[in-house]
Structure 1
Amino acid sequence: MNSKVYYKIRIISIGILLYALQLEAAPKFSYSYLDEAVREFESKNSTSSVVLMEMDSGKVEYIYRPEIAVSKKLPPGSLVKTFSALTLLKYKDRLGFSPEKKILCKGRFYPKENITPTKSDLNTLHLPQDENGKEYLRCSLAKGHGEMDLRSALVQSCNVYFLTSASSDPDLFYSKLHEDWSLGKSTRSRLDSYIEPSDINFISISSLRKVSASIGEGGLLLSPLKISQLYSSIWKEGPRLSPYWGTNQEPVRSEENPYNGKDLRWIVSTLSEVPKTGTLKDLNVSENGNLEILGGKTGTGTKFMHKYETHGWTVLSFRKDRKSYVLTVFVDNGSGGNQAKSLAGILLNKIDSKSNDSAIKSGK
């Protein structure tokens, strides 16, 4: 055996050993029966990752591919619109923002003169040109949503609304979005032996990328675990908790929630409309089950530096057996409104079916 082949075998063996050790480190989840459903979905679609977290404690009840969910940062797309909405509400006076004011969406956002695309923007963002050669950012509906206020823009996921609102003061908006949502920080999780990406400092980027951050584009990267933590803090209107999965561990506060109850309740109410009339309305979950869907959001994130390829996301909250959970679904090659939503629906139906089976066996 020559040395090159020997070292390749050694590297592969070490990789298998490390992976096995990580599997042993993860607890035996009561929701591990979901693995089969996710694997079947992957066989017809692409690599996926799932996080199921109990919201009141921060306990991770199930995780699929933690090497992605915990250890990778990915473009979150429209999931960030919820964070943007709260940022706009909190700083509405300084940003000259009104949630009732309507913005006309015709399917295109044309950058103003103060946020003209740079060479880096052209390489990073998908900026098609119109018939006059002028660059623009597309909305989620090619022909536009018409007139949108904050509530309808969040429910229908209108890019033009958020881009227009953030463009009033890109520097202020981005700095507050980055600061209040701790976008450069990890969740401070306790999921041995998986390591989260290191914290990063505030990054200096172009004005257009700061505006694009309002819709989760422009190089913004978050892990599925971070998404779960932040959305949990919204739905339960409480602090951000350190995710954990050990049976002998207790809830630990990672950060306080910088948003007031009134704005959080308004956002929670708005997110509750998404599964009814918004981008999750075809979730395909049994209406006669034991799960109560509380709200959700979809996202389609453009792969950084691969502006024609996308990731799919869905995050939603549901209640089961008097406990509330947040479910985050990530699909590597897909969209939030199709693949990620489909997988979320499959998992919810599996959970509900298992819950019904358990109730029958216990005689309830």
Structure 2
Amino acid sequence: MNSKIYYKIGILSAAILLCTAEVQAAPKFSYSYLDEAVKEFESKNSLSSVVLMEMGSGKVEYIYRPEMAVSKKLPPGSLVKTFSALTLLKYKDKFGFSPEKKVLCKGRFYPSENLTPTKSDLNTLHLPQDEKGKEYLRCSLAKGHGEMDLRSALVQSCNVYFLTSASSDPDLFYSKLYEDWSLGKSTKSRLDSYIEPSDSNFTSISLLRKVVASIGEGGLLLSPLKISQLYSSIWKEGPRLSPYWGASQEPIRSEENPYSGKDLRWISSVLSEVPKTGTLKDLHISEKGNLEILGGKTGTGTKFMHKYETHGWTVLSFRKDQKSYVLTVFVENGSGGNQAKSLAAVLLDKIDSKSKDSAIKSGK
């Protein structure tokens, strides 16, 4: 046989062995019954990834497509608005910011002269032109949300509010957002044998992209695992924990939480409104079930350098059996308010049904 053929066969065999090893690396989860639900969803939609993490410990209780959830960075879209809100609150004196101050949203954000789009911005961002040929950024609601304060802007996911607030000092805003949320760093996970992307630093970007980072666009990339870690630290008002899944492992702090309990509690109360009156209000979960939804957020991230294609995200917090969990759902093609929300609802229903069955069998 030709030596080149032997060589190719060897490479193929090595790749198969590597993939097999990675598949076997993830433990058998008690929530593995969710696999079928995700596969059914994917058959009608697109590739997806799911992370279910116990917030008090950082233990990953379930993960679907760990090679995507752990090893890939993706544009998070409006999920970053929660981080932006906390950044604005923490440094409100430096920004001259007040959470009660109203911003009028008419559906469009027009960059000021100091934010004039560069060639790179035009290639990266979706910047339609109005009838006068001036570029603008769209809000999540085409006709606008009207007057928004911080609470309503986060619940209704108003782009114009956050873009306007961040534009008061783009350099300061971006540096604090990037630093406090460790957006270029890994979670320091212990999910053998999956490797997280190496740490990075993207501070050398245009002023407009620094402003657009407030809504999770402009090149910000985060993994589903990172999203789970950061949102857990918000809902638990505690440190950022190193994600793990080994039965013999213990919780480890990877970073302290730089935000005050007062601000974290306020943001948590706002996020609790999202499933009731915000972008998750159509999330259909039985009120008589064993799950208590604590809060959530949706996100629709623009694929980097593919400004007309989007990813869908939903992150939710819920309580079950006296433990609190964060569920992060990522859908490769879609939006947070539709596809990702739909998959999240299916998974929560499956978890709730299983919990009821277990309760019946145990006689509780």
Category of TM-score, reference length = shorter chain: over 0.9
User: What secondary structure does 1:309 align onto?
Assistant: strand
Q: Which residue of 1 aligns with 2:305?
A: 305
Aligned counterpart, 1:185: 185
Greater CA deviation, 22-31 or 34-43? Answer: 22-31
The corresponding residue for 1:56 is 56
What letter matches 1:323 in structure 2? K
Match of 2:279 in 1: 279
One-letter amino acid of the counterpart of residue 206, structure 1:
S
Residues 58, 243 of structure 2: 8 Å contact kept: yes
Q: Secondary structure at the match of 1:353?
A: helix
Structure 1 residue 90: deviation in Å? Answer: 0.4
Identify the residue that residue 255 of structure 1 maps to in structure 2.
255
What secondary structure, in the 3-state scheme, does the structure 2 residue paired with 1:99 have?
coil
State the shift of 1:5 in Å: 5.3
Matched positions, count: 364
Per-residue CA deviation, residues 321-348 of structure 1 (Å, 9 max, x unaligned), is 0000000000000100000000000000
Corresponding residue for residue 138 of structure 2 = 138
How far apart in 1 are the matches of 2:25 and 2:32?
Answer: 15
CA distance in 2, matches of 1:351, 1:8: 44
Aligned to 1:235: 235
1:268 aligns with 2:246: no
Kindly provide the amino acid, as one letter, of the partner of residue 99 in structure 2.
P
Q: Does 1:11 align with 2:11?
A: yes
| Residue aligning to 1:87 | 87
Report matched runs for 1:157-196 at 5 Å: 157-196=157-196
SS at match of 2:32: coil
Q: Which amino acid aligns with 1:200?
A: S
Moved >6 Å (runs of 4+): none
| Residue in 2 that maps onto 1:327 | 327
Cα RMSD after superposing both structures: 1.0
Over 3 Å counting, the alpha-carbon distance change for 1:149 and 1:17 in structure 2 is same
- Counterpart-to-counterpart distance in 2, 1:157 and 1:268: 15
CA distance in 1, matches of 2:144, 2:32: 42
Q: Give the TM-score, by structure 1 length.
A: 0.98
Aligned residue number for residue 111 of structure 2: 111
Alpha-carbon shift at residue 13 of structure 1 (Å): 2.7
What CA distance in whole angstroms lies between the structure 2 residues aligned with 1:161 and 1:296? 19
Find the aligned partners of 1:105 and 1:271 in 2 and give their Cα distance.
21
In structure 2, the gaps of 5 or more residues are none
Q: Distance in 2 between matches of 1:64 and 1:58?
A: 17
Q: Paired residue for 1:356?
A: 356
After superposition, the C-alpha distances for 1:235-280 in whole angstroms (9 at most, x for unaligned) are 0000000000000000000000000011000000000000000000
Letter in 2 for 1:35: D
Give the partner amino acid of 1:357.
Answer: D
Alpha-carbon distance in 1 for matches of 2:234, 2:243: 15
Structure 2 counterpart of 1:65, one-letter code: R
Q: Is the 8 A contact 2:237 2:265 kept in 1?
A: yes
Give the whole-Å Cα distance in 2 for the aligned partners of 1:316 and 1:356. Answer: 20
In the alignment, what sits opposite 1:102? 102
- Displacement after TM superposition at 1:12 (Å): 3.2
Q: CA deviation at 1:4?
A: 5.6
Distance 2:7 2:67 in 1: 24
Amino acid of the residue matched to residue 199 of structure 1? D
CA distance, structure 1, for counterparts of residue 12 and residue 342 of structure 2: 34
CA contact (8 A) 2:183 2:222 kept: yes
Amino acid at match of 1:211: V
In the alignment, the residues of structure 2 paired with residue 6 and residue 80 of structure 1 have an alpha-carbon distance, to the nearest angstrom, of: 49
Q: Distance in 1 between matches of 2:212 and 2:5?
A: 47
For 2:307, what is the secondary structure of its paired residue? coil
CA distance in 1, matches of 2:344, 2:11: 36
Distance 1:5 1:316 in 2: 50
Q: Alignment partner of 2:147: what SS?
A: strand
Give the secondary-structure state (helix, strand or coil) at the position aligned to 2:189.
Answer: coil
Supply the distance in 1 between the matched residues of 2:101 and 2:233 (Cα, whole angstroms): 27
What is the letter of the counterpart of residue 191 of structure 2? L
* SS of the residue 1:33 aligns to: helix
